[in-house]
Structure 1
Amino acid sequence: MTDGNQRAVQAAVDAELRLLDPGVRARPDLVLELLDPEFTEVGASGRRWDATSILTVTGDGSVSPESPVEVTEMSGTVLAPGIVHLTYFADNQGRRVRRSSLWRLTETGWRLFHHQGTPVAGRA
């Protein structure tokens, strides 16, 4: 992986981890700074979300300092210049979900363009 690709992947990883931070999730303005205006998500429930609707759950307390998300097996690859794909497992309150995120570089920085969560039983 080239240095430029490594920096792009690291920037996306840093942004993804910020988005999972309880302090960021509690602030809609900070969440919106990380979401692309065209953001979409297919959640672990199968529900489709956009940037406006996702704000109703990001600050709901399911991710808190007392109940943080545990992230494992985070990896990323550059799909094209300015596009990074991340995959990882997220464990929160006994629920394990395989996550996939597409980040794209915009004039204002890295923004989450698409996210998908798939529930996983046990340690898959």
Structure 2
Amino acid sequence: MTDESERAVQAVIDAELRLLDPEVRASAARVLELLDLEFTEFGASGRRWGVESILTVTSGGTVSSESPVKVSEMSGVVLAPGIVHLTYFADNQGRRAWRSSLWRLTETGRRLYFHQATPVPSEAE
């Protein structure tokens, strides 16, 4: 991976972690700074989300500072100039999922364009 690719991947990792931060999620303005205007998500619930619907759920406090999302195995790759694919495992209070994000570079910075979560059953199931 080139230095430029490494910087792009690290910038996206930092942005993804900001989106998981309870303080950021509590602010529609801060979330909007990270979402692409064409953002779409297929959530672990199977629901399709857009910018407006994701702002509604994030403002509802789905991530608390007492129980932050635990992230592991985060890695990324530059797919094309300005496009980074990020994958990771997340545990949000026992709701476990593999997550995949596509970030694109816009005139105003890196923005989350697409996100998908695939639920993982607990070991007990």
Q: Give the TM-score of the pair, scaled to structure 2.
A: 0.96
Q: Distance in 2 between matches of 1:61 and 1:54?
A: 11
1:73-96 Cα offsets, whole Å, 9 max, x none, are 000000000000000011011111
Where 2:44 maps in the other structure, the secondary structure is coil
* Structure 1 residue ranges (4+ consecutive) displaced by more than 3 angstroms after TM superposition: none
Where 2:33 maps in the other structure, the secondary structure is helix
1:62: how far off? 2.1
Where 2:52 maps in the other structure, the secondary structure is helix
Backbone CA RMSD of aligned residues: 0.9
Q: How does 1:1-124 map to 2 (within 5 A)?
A: 1-122=1-122
- Any stretches of 5+ residues in structure 2 without a counterpart? none
- Any stretches of 5+ residues in structure 1 without a counterpart? none
* 17-26 or 61-70, larger mean C-alpha shift: 61-70
1:32: how far off? 0.5
- Name the % identity: 75
* 13-22 or 52-61, larger mean C-alpha shift: 52-61
Which amino acid in structure 1 is aligned with residue 28 of structure 2? P
The number of aligned residues is 123
Q: Distance in 2 between matches of 1:118 and 1:56?
A: 21
Where 1:110 maps in the other structure, the secondary structure is strand
Where 1:75 maps in the other structure, the secondary structure is strand
Q: Give the TM-score of the pair, scaled to structure 1.
A: 0.96
Which amino acid in structure 2 is aligned with residue 16 of structure 1? E
* 62-71 or 20-29, larger mean C-alpha shift: 62-71
Q: Distance in 2 between matches of 1:54 and 1:60?
A: 10
